[in-house]
């Protein structure tokens, strides 16, 4: 194998605090990750603004891969999302009191699959003993919303092969520690 020192640029996103929460575990996780050639982006938990900032970063940074992070109380400690759906289905309001929309993108596909190398990631996680679940439901709030918009933007802009996906973490301190291991392992896979 020829030697090269080319490192892929990886965009990693997380969300800021929302609702009555003082912080967001995904933001804490992102702030704990230190890796070369990563672009960190905290998305506001606000419909419209989150998608605008994500697309702006994708256009400006032209990342080779995108890993999105979010909090889920049902992630114990980690859920790797396999799909994004073209709908917001929650009554949960964002930080400006707005709810989502359905469909997210008129005329868009009902479902878009993650383009992360899932098999390679879970193989790496299994080697490291990281506990996780594979999920086909990224929820009905902003996590699914930005995942769908990111995947759809890549698809409609001729970049459907760019690895892009979403990982939910729980809120316990140990979930953050395990989440960091999972993120770093995922970044290693994405650099291959």
Based on the structure, what is the number of domains in the chain? Answer: 1
User: Is the distance from CB of 10 to CB of 66 less than 8 angstroms?
Assistant: yes
> At 175, which CATH number?
3.40.630.20
Q: Mean pLDDT throughout 147-170? A: 97
Instruction: Give the contacts of 166 (CB within 8 A, at least 6 positions apart).
Output: 67, 68, 69, 70, 80, 81, 84, 114, 138, 143, 147
Q: What is the pLDDT of residues 41-90, one digit of tens each?
A: 999 999 999 999 999 999 999 999 999 999 998 888 899 999 999 999 87
By residue range, what is the domain housing residue 27?
10-190
Burial class (CB in 10 A: 0-12, 13-18, 19+), 192: exposed
Kindly state whether residue 3 falls inside one of the protein's structural domains: no
User: Is the distance from CB of 166 to CB of 133 less than 8 angstroms?
Assistant: no
Indicate if the pLDDT at residue 20 is higher than 90: no
pTM: 0.94
* pLDDT tier, 1 (very low <50, low <70, confident <90, very high otherwise): very low
Kindly state whether residue 2 falls inside one of the protein's structural domains: no
Q: Would you state the pLDDT for residue 5?
A: 56
The string over 13-49, giving b where at least 16 C-beta atoms fall within 10 Å of a residue's C-beta and e elsewhere, is bbbbebeeeeebbbbbbbeebeeeebbbbbbbbbbee
């Amino acid at each position: 194998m020829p030697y090269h020192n080319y490192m892929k640029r990886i965009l990693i996103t997380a969300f800021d605090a929302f609702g009555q929460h003082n912080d967001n575990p995904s933001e804490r996780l992102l702030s704990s990750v230190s890796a070369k050639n990563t672009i960190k982006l905290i998305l506001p938990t606000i419909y419209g603004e989150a998608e605008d900032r994500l697309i702006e970063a994708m256009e400006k940074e032209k990342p080779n891969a995108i890993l999105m992070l979010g909090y889920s109380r049902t992630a114990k400690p980690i859920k790797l999302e396999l799909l994004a759906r073209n709908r917001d289905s929650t009554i949960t309001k964002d930080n400006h009191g707005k709810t989502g929309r359905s469909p997210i993108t008129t005329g868009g596909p009902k479902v878009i699959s993650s383009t992360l190398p899932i098999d390679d990631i879970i193989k790496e996680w299994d080697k490291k003993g990281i506990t996780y679940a594979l999920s086909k439901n990224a929820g009905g709030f902003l996590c699914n919303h930005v995942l769908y918009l990111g995947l759809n933007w890549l698809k409609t802009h001729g970049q459907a092969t760019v690895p892009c996906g979403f990982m939910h973490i729980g809120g316990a301190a140990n979930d953050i520690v395990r989440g960091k291991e999972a993120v770093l392992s995922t970044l290693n896979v994405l650099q291959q």
